[in-house]
Structure 1
Amino acid sequence: MGWAEICHPFHPLKGQRFPVLKTRRVGGVDTLLLGHAERGSFSIAREWTDWGTPSVHDGVGVTACRFDLEMLLELIDLVDLVDQLAVSTSKKSPTKGA
């Protein structure tokens, strides 16, 4: 049936190619049954391989950005500001029973 390369960024076998033994649908997910010389056969979601549906970013020369450092730094600043306001507000409020 051909070969498939694992493309999922967090899969331990990413970048490796395996022979496709069979295609099937399991629980509504298209899967490939791949052959491994040492481990036998294993299933993987078709989308996790180069057989999956191409992303809108494929072939455009642009990688999808899932992590934006600038936004993270802004979020950290915002959390620090909220913490400072919380401390400031708790110092200003009168304590009960005093």
Structure 2
Amino acid sequence: MEIEVTHPFHPWRGQRFVLATRKRNWGEDRVMYFDAQGRLRSLPAAWTDIDPPDVRTQAAAGRAAFRSDDLLQLASLIDEISTQPSRGPRRVK
């Protein structure tokens, strides 16, 4: 199976590689492939076309920079941080 680099700012965007394996590595979903010199390389799976396009991304057609689920999670995190009591300034040694 071949994968294509789809990340808009990656220098290899549009290049195709033969997929060696896919696994969770360094805390994220990654695809492993061999480069032209035969070295094993990896990329985040989200930077490739290995998964079908997200339905919300397709429906937004480039008009939405963020997914609503992610924005709701961010709002919850901000709310949680803002309601915590302040401990005063932190000193760095």
* Smaller-chain TM-score bracket: 0.5 to 0.7
Task: State the shift of 1:37 in Å.
Answer: 1.5
Task: Please give the alpha-carbon distance, in whole angstroms, between the structure 1 residues aligned to 2:37 and 2:61.
Answer: 36
**SS of equivalent residue, structure 2 residue 61:** coil
Q: TM-score, with normalisation over the residues of structure 2?
A: 0.57
After TM superposition, which residue ranges in structure 1, 4 or more long, deviate above 3 angstroms?
none
Give the structure 1 partner of residue 21 of structure 2: 22
Task: State the shift of 1:27 in Å.
Answer: 2.8
Counting only pairs closer than 5 Å after superposition, residues 1-98 of structure 1 correspond to structure 2 as 2-38=1-37, 40-52=39-51, 54-55=53-54, 56-58=56-58, 60=59, 62-64=61-63, 66=65
**Identity, % of aligned pairs?**
30
Deviations 1:9-57 (A, max 9, x none): 1111001100001111013311010111236221000010001462322
Q: TM-score, with normalisation over the residues of structure 1?
A: 0.55
Give the structure 2 partner of residue 78 of structure 1: none
Aligned residue type for 1:28: G
Contact 1:47-1:53 at 8 Å conserved across structures: no
Task: Please give the alpha-carbon distance, in whole angstroms, between the structure 1 residues aligned to 2:26 and 2:40.
Answer: 19
Q: 1:64 to 1:20 in 2, by over 3 A?
A: farther
Higher-Rg structure is: 1
Count, aligned residues: 64
